[in-house]
Amino acid sequence: MPNDNNEVIYEKIRKIFKNKKKVLKKDITWKNYSRMWGDKTHRICSYVAMFPPRLANYFIKKFSKENDYVFDTFSGRGTTILESRLLKRKAFGIDLNPFAYVLSRAKSKSYSWEIIENEINIWKRNYDSFNEAIILDENLKVFYSDENLRQLTFIKYKYGRNWNNINDVDNYILAIVLGLMHGPAKKNGESIYFSLSMSNCISMSKNYVIKYAKKHDLIKPVDDIFEKIKKRAKYIIGSSQYSNEEAKIVYGNSLNITNYIDAKPKLIFTSPPYLNIINYTQQNWIKMWLLGFEDKIDNNNIGLDDKHNLTNYVNFMINYMTSISKIMDKNSTLVIVIGEVLRINTIYSFDDMWKEKISKIIKNLKLIEKYTDPIDQNKKATNSMGQRAGKSTRIDKIYVFKKI
């Protein structure tokens, strides 16, 4: 019954949106690109709640020109960063999630295959000559063969837990590794991933995978994972556009953005955390493990803004918009992508938050445009989870603000 009620609610929403003046027309928006459109570097690693490259591309072109500054203050997997570079903009990104920082940084510059191949060979030689004891995590043995886990643990020791101190080339390779940590196998059993067959988007729980693997007789692959890293990196680089533009990526909190950059952006295109529907570290706990975050305590200590109740979330958005307005001038545009959240037959929309409270406090930003983008439930990244796939977000809203 709850599902039926939810469909009724969303049918009402769809009818309302038909009467809005900003109706998406396929011939003038990002909708004239396919879901898979975009440079292959975007596909280094999956990321929960990521917006598609075509969306960033559209708004970057609409609100900026070549050599303009484009910022993403919740840079995530680096979609805005890469699209900005390919469109010859000066890009800046910031994120407080170490996983997001590594991915965004990997998209901050282009690399030749020769440089990456040489460094992967160095990783392999370092592994072969590594004399310290490698202790395998019992929890991870559920997902990996001992051989694969031993190699991954070395990468964690040498590079992963040093994510904030390694050079750009090592960071790029680390991002490739994160993208291969787990994912589905082909019907013939072959896989580009290091794990037994599972979702590539969500790090599943140990107990769930134990039951699922037993039921489906899943096999944990035994690989030279450095060869898999090479193969994937060669494919990504060989299929991607090379750009001489380089972006600046920092690890930090966007609420303190004035501490990191003093340039005035022409465009800020970003997607803040949605209202308490995605725990970014928990849903990527295996990838966080590779970066040295061993448990929930380690992950919680990062201090991400992804677990707020409604009141705290509104206050968070007030603080964010106050902070971001300080780096804007009257030539700047702020574009925010926020999904509407459905919880227990109640829809939580940024529309209501803006009208009822935020706009009464944030006086120097004016909402000038609003777009509605229904999400195709059959094409969500979390569908790889099967019946466990999330249904909380079915509509994305894009809000366009100018400083006044």
pLDDT at 178 over 80: yes
Domain-located, residue 31: yes
Is the Cβ–Cβ distance between 201 and 161 less than 8 Å? no
Is the Cβ–Cβ distance between 172 and 116 less than 8 Å? yes
Domain match, 273 and 199 both: no
Domain match, 268 and 391 both: yes
Domain-located, residue 289: no
pLDDT at 273 over 90: no
Q: Give the range of the structural domain holding residue 159, as residue numbers without chain letter.
A: 113-238
Domain match, 256 and 360 both: yes
> What are the Cα distances from residue 353, in Å, to 16, 315, 350?
19, 10, 5
Is the Cβ–Cβ distance between 253 and 228 less than 8 Å? no
Domain match, 253 and 367 both: yes
pLDDT at 17 over 80: no
Highest-scoring range by mean pLDDT, 205-209, 223-227, 347-351? 223-227
Span 98-112, mean pLDDT? 98
Structure tokens belonging to residue 299: 């992950």
Domain-located, residue 290: no
Instruction: Give the Cα separation of 327 and 265 in Å (integer).
Output: 7
Domain match, 223 and 315 both: no
Per-residue exposure over 350-385, b if at least 16 CB sit within 10 Å of its own CB, e if not: beebbeeebeeebeebebeeebbbeeeeeebbbebb
Domain match, 255 and 399 both: yes
Domain match, 106 and 117 both: no
Domain-located, residue 293: no
Domain-located, residue 284: no
Predicted confidence at residue 296, as pLDDT, reads 75
Domain match, 252 and 124 both: no
CATH code at 53? 3.40.50.150
Domain match, 147 and 249 both: no
Domain-located, residue 168: yes
pLDDT at 301 over 80: no
Domain-located, residue 292: no
Span 181-202, mean pLDDT? 94
**pLDDT per position as a tens digit, 124-151:** 999 999 999 999 999 999 999 999 999 9
Domain-located, residue 227: yes
Residue where one domain finishes, among candidates 210, 238, 266? 238
Instruction: Give the Cα separation of 335 and 271 in Å (integer).
Output: 8
Q: How many helices and strands, by DSSP H and E, does the chain display? A: 14, 8
Total tally of structural domains belonging to the chain: 2
Predicted confidence at residue 31, as pLDDT, reads 77
Predicted confidence at residue 308, as pLDDT, reads 65
Query: How high is the mean pLDDT of the chain?
Result: 88
pLDDT at 315 over 90: yes
Domain match, 12 and 34 both: yes
Span 231-246, mean pLDDT? 98
Predicted confidence at residue 48, as pLDDT, reads 81
**pLDDT per position as a tens digit, 60-96:** 999 999 999 999 999 999 999 999 999 999 999 999 9
Domain match, 104 and 129 both: no
Domain match, 270 and 221 both: no
Predicted confidence at residue 393, as pLDDT, reads 53
Which DSSP letter does residue 141 get? G
Q: Which residue in 121, 80, 69, 136 sits closest to 104, CA to CA?
A: 80
